[in-house]
Amino acid sequence: MTNPFLPLEKIATGRVRTHPIPRRKPPETEQNLTQRQRHAQKLQADIASIQPIQPLDSESASPLDISAPMPFLIRADPSLQQRDQLKSCGLEVVTTLPDDYAVVAAEDLSQLQDKLTLFLDESRGGGKVAGIWEILDGQERLQYLLSPGLFRQWEQLPDHQPYTVDIGVACLGVQTQIPSPPQQQEREVDERYLRRFDRWQKQCEQQRWQWQVVREERLESLRQFIQRDDGQITSLIDGKVVDAADLADSFTVRIALTGAGLRELALNYPYVFELKEVSQRKPSAHSRKAANGLFPLEI
């Protein structure tokens, strides 16, 4: 009689390979994929409306540079609001907001236009456009950027009134975020894991260096922007930021400028994610000396 229980000749070892379950797309994204022409035409019209906003009744010393990056508001699939998801469309996420909104800045809208063309042609590389649900102009973002006190005063800011405000500036750029540190896998020898960990550390160092470069560029661009309206950064001493939340991907500084300059800054400086007024205070003689003559204006 034949033995039905034959021994196995080979036992497979190693991890079982599985395929991830595709993430279900939000209904708006699915609808845009089925109505490509309609969605593309809407975004084209939205993009055409994005222009630098020159404040009304402003006596700015110089006109705006129309080639500068433009800030605006988008509503998009939250999974796309990760910086490494939208950067292929030429969009830098400055800050994420409730209800799927985000403030973004674009150096050049041509990348987004190119993605729209790919989306219409159903070509590879255009799929993310379906997840960009709406594009709004830069003025819409003010309700999220301004502190409640500034927002209440916004329509009545006197052009020549001096103000002291704290401004938060994003400086991540369109660079990829630092990934989480690698975890040692089961049965992975220490030598191989340490090689992977060393590569991760070098990637982190390179990324931090790139962030520092962007940070210095944005600090200088902010200085030049507010100087057009005779504003100044009052929290710099010997080129160092003080009284600032100095993070890897953002910084906060205190500036003094007029109402006209404040309006132009809020409307057109692309990387601002927060603007709040500073309470009135009179600097002492000691603080004047310590600040080397730079101190907040009285308001």
Q: For the chain, give me the number of helices (H) and strands (E)?
A: 9, 10
Residues 158-186 as b/e (b if ≥16 CB within 10 A, e otherwise) read: ebeebbbbbbbbbbbbbbeebeeeeeeee
Q: Do the strands 272-277 and 91-96 form a parallel or antiparallel pair, or are they unpaired?
A: unpaired
Query: How far is the C-alpha of 272 from the C-alpha of 146, rounded, in Å?
Result: 10
Both tokens assigned to 89: 């469309």
* Cα-based angle 54, 55, 57 (whole degrees, multiple of 5): 120
pLDDT of residue 176: 56
pLDDT of residue 2: 55
Q: Which residue has the tokens 């379950």?
A: 21
Query: How far is the C-alpha of 271 from the C-alpha of 256, rounded, in Å?
Result: 18
Both tokens assigned to 107: 């150096």
Both tokens assigned to 296: 């907040």
| Strand partners for 155 | none
What's the pTM value of the predicted model, to 2 decimals?
0.72
Query: How far is the C-alpha of 151 from the C-alpha of 282, rounded, in Å?
Result: 24
Query: How far is the C-alpha of 243 from the C-alpha of 129, rounded, in Å?
Result: 40
Both tokens assigned to 109: 């809208």
Indicate the SS3 state at residue 252. Answer: strand
pLDDT of residue 37: 93
Neighbouring residues of 123: CB distance < 8 A, sequence distance ≥ 6: none
Q: What is the pLDDT along the chain (299 residues), one digit of tens a residue?
A: 555 545 545 444 445 455 555 568 889 999 999 999 999 999 999 888 876 655 544 454 444 454 567 889 999 998 887 756 888 888 888 888 889 999 999 887 888 999 999 999 998 888 899 999 999 887 888 989 999 999 998 988 899 999 999 999 988 765 556 677 888 888 889 999 999 999 988 888 887 788 788 888 889 999 999 998 888 998 854 445 544 444 457 888 999 999 999 999 998 899 999 999 886 554 444 333 333 333 333 32
